Chains A and B, each alone.
Chain A
């Protein structure tokens, strides 16, 4: 969580100072607890995690490296996207991290397909998780994907971060149901709701949801209530979010809440927070330096074909 927050602060400052960042910067400020609490219950290599735009924390907790984020934001050839698609769109599909397309809602069915394939291959014990925002629950793809996962009783965990806004659009212009978690009944999936500013509650809820999915309980939909503590992207000042929303319980900063919880429980020494923060900052600076030294794709030598079968590329590969 802390690493994700500090990485995104660094990315935001690099974005504002211009220069190295290719494309935009989208942060998960305020959503770190909800995102990480999901993926600490997943196992890299066995499970699937299809992150969305506010899942830096979940990515790290699942097993993505710090380097991969900076490589992608800097558009380097050594990053997972080889400089072809920036920032939050990165992934390593064959390692269980599908690379999101921008079109919201589209990853639910992709994860479902990965899960169904593994079942057909006779594998077992795996879970697939993906994340989505309140706005994206309005897409047809969300409905089609969740309904399909329910029909196939797939071990899917769907984390719905209700941060009250989709870009600038508030919940009341997005859906008319009382609570998004009520939708679970309609799909025939298990619904969970959690205060997503509360790390301990998030960990408990996801522990149960992931265990349910893993043991054959079918898709689980977890709705987390929180507030986006940043703009939609770094280009957005979020002036449309009212002070009363920020001061409400759901406007709490999950990292501050977690700090208090950890201190109260005596899980970490007071000084350990500062040590942790310093060590994260050091790693970030090292990664920024290393990624900055990497090169961008060469338009004249890279293979740009969108078709893998060489003889069928029909002029798509403009290299030669």
Chain B
């Protein structure tokens, strides 16, 4: 199973298990989504996988309204980059709803994120740092096939708005047969590799780069601990601090723009 298939399967699972779930996004219906993340779901779940107009602001507004009425919408942004058009509804409407009115806002916004070769400045952004600035949002960044599946299922079940940053580079490259390896809740980081010389804190596609670097450094005699944050908001500072207490050195590695981002 690929990372992308895990995302597709997680959506099939929540559609099957919870009648209040529906998917809303551009080209997600009959076409199955530009990346095929909703392939076949339109036929399997009639009336619950709906094509949206190119209106990111209204798409998120609609999701918030549906959530008020007890639904659990999943909004697919065609690319993370286009969520900027829905920014107002995300940070002002969805993120503040619970604080203002004590009304839960169970929506999941999927952002196909990150750089892939040739994707240019408008199809490659990593916006997790931006969204993690706002109270009221949960921002998750799965790095593995199993996490992509389990964290998406968990995200849809949460009563809060979740920004689900799925990495496009991992869509087809990352494969795994084990979905049921160690399942952790959102908010808990995973020590993927233990070491003593330094701690690398990372998430999403950069996890795999960090692991490759750690293997190379091992040849030179350095033992590198690698922490996969899994979610950047909440951020598991307990695990990070405990790791740094052991190693004494910290390097944060992420793909989002560095200024004011989730790692600084």
Query: Within 8 Å of chain A (Cβ to Cβ): is B179?
Result: no
> Of B61, B64, B70, B97, which contacts A141 at CB under 8 A?
B61
B173-196 CB mask vs A (1 if < 8 Å, else 0) is 000000000000111000000000
**Contacting pair A120 B234 (CB below 8 A):** no
A309 and B106 CA atoms in complex are apart in Å by 11
A179: interface (CB < 8 Å):
no
Asked, given contacts A82-B102, A94-B103, A112-B62, whether A306 binds B53 with beta carbons under 8 Å apart, the answer is: no
Find B68's partner among A89, A98, A309, A315 (CB 8 Å cutoff). A98
Number of A-B contacts (CB under 8 A): 153
Q: Note all chain B residues with C-beta closer than 8 A to A99.
A: 100-101
Q: Which residues of B contact A (CB under 8 A)?
A: 22, 47-48, 52-53, 55-71, 73, 85, 88-89, 92-93, 95-104, 135-136, 138, 158-160, 185-187, 233-235
Question: Which residues on B sit within 8 Å (CB–CB) of A141?
Answer: 57-58, 61, 88-89
Interface-side segment among A5-13, A100-108, A214-222:
A100-108
In the complex, A107→B61 CA distance in Å?
7
Q: Could you tell me if A103 and B88 are in contact, using CB atoms closer than 8 angstroms?
A: yes
Picked from A102, A114, A115, A304, the residue with its CB within 8 Å of the CB of B99 is A304
Contact B65 A110 (CB under 8 A): yes
Whether a CB of chain B sits under 8 angstroms from the CB of A278 is no
Contact status A101-B92, CB under 8 Å: yes
Query: Cβ of B58 and Cβ of A117 under 8 Å apart?
Result: no
- Central interface residue in A113, A116, A140, A151, by most chain B CB within 10 Å: A113
CB distance from A260 to the nearest CB of B (A): 40
Complex CA–CA separation, A112 to B52 (angstroms): 13
CB of B61 within 8 A of CB of A110, answer yes
Q: A215–B85 Cα gap in the complex (Å)?
A: 34
A268 interface residue (CB < 8 Å to B): no
Q: Is the CB of B53 within 8 A of A148?
A: yes
**Which residues of chain A come closer than 8 Å to B59, judged between CB atoms?**
109, 148
Query: Does A17 reach chain B (CB closer than 8 Å)?
Result: no
Q: Say whether A256 faces chain B, with CB atoms less than 8 Å apart.
A: no
A308 to B102, CA, bound (A): 8
Digit string of A80-101 for contact with B (CB within 8 Å is 1, else 0)?
Answer: 1110110001011110001101
Within 8 Å CB of B61, what residues of A? 106-110, 112-113, 141, 144-145
Q: Is A314 an interface residue (CB 8 A)?
A: yes
A92 to B186, CA, bound (A): 30
Q: B99 contacts A306, CB within 8 Å? A: yes
Q: Is the CB of A307 within 8 A of B55?
A: no
23 residue pairs bridging A and B, Cβ less than 8 Å apart:
A92-B101, A102-B92, A106-B88, A106-B92, A109-B61, A110-B68, A113-B61, A113-B62, A114-B65, A116-B62, A120-B22, A120-B66, A141-B61, A145-B58, A306-B95, A306-B99, A307-B135, A307-B160, A311-B185, A311-B187, A312-B138, A312-B187, A313-B234
Query: A27 within 8 Å of B by Cβ?
Result: no
Q: Known pairs A113-B73, A148-B53, A312-B160. 15 more at Cβ < 8 A?
A: A82-B102, A89-B100, A91-B101, A101-B96, A109-B57, A110-B68, A113-B62, A113-B63, A118-B69, A141-B61, A148-B62, A306-B136, A307-B138, A312-B187, A316-B135
Task: Give the 7 A-B residue pairs with the shortest CB-CB distance, closest first.
Answer: A113-B65, A109-B61, A314-B234, A113-B62, A117-B69, A306-B136, A144-B58
Residue of B nearest to A141 (CB): B57
Residues from chain A with Cβ under 8 Å of B62 in the complex: 109-110, 112-113, 116, 148
A216-253 vs B, Cβ < 8 Å mask (1 yes, 0 no): 00000000000000000000000000000000000000
| Known A106-B93, A148-B53, A306-B135; contact A85-B100, beta-carbon cutoff 8 A | yes
- Shortest CB-to-CB span from A11 to chain B, Å, is 21
**Complex: how many Å from CA A89 to CA B22?**
29
Q: What residue of chain A has the Cβ atom nearest to residue B138's Cβ?
A: A312
Q: Is A111 an interface residue (CB 8 A)?
A: yes
* Min C-beta distance of A309 to chain B, whole Å: 6
Tell me, yes or no, whether A305 is within 8 Å of chain B by CB. yes
Interface size class, chain A: 35 or more
Asked if A121 is at the interface (CB within 8 A of a chain B CB), the reply is yes
Partner of A309 from the list B65, B97, B160 (CB cut-off 8 Å) is B160
Q: Is the CB of A144 within 8 A of B55?
A: yes
A147 beta carbon closer than 8 Å to chain B: yes
Interchain CB contact under 8 A, B55 and A148: yes
Interface contact A140-B57, CB-CB below 8 Å: yes
CB distance from A64 to the nearest CB of B (A): 14
Q: Of B60, B68, B85, which is within 8 A of A94 by CB? A: B68
Query: B159 CB to closest chain A CB, in angstroms?
Result: 5
Query: Cβ of B99: which chain A residues have Cβ within 8 Å of it?
Result: 84, 304-306
A91 to B234, CA, bound (A): 29
Closest residue to A50 on the B side, CB-wise? Answer: B65
CB of A109 within 8 A of CB of B89, answer yes
Q: State the CA gap A120–B234 with chains docked (Å).
A: 33
Q: How far is the CB of A169 from chain B (nearest CB, A)?
A: 20
A307 with B98: CB separation less than 8 A: yes
B68 to chain A, nearest CB (A): 5
A312-B234 in contact given A99-B100, A306-B135 (Cβ < 8 Å)? yes
Task: Give the distance in Å from the alpha carbon of A155 to the alpha carbon of B232 in the complex.
Answer: 40
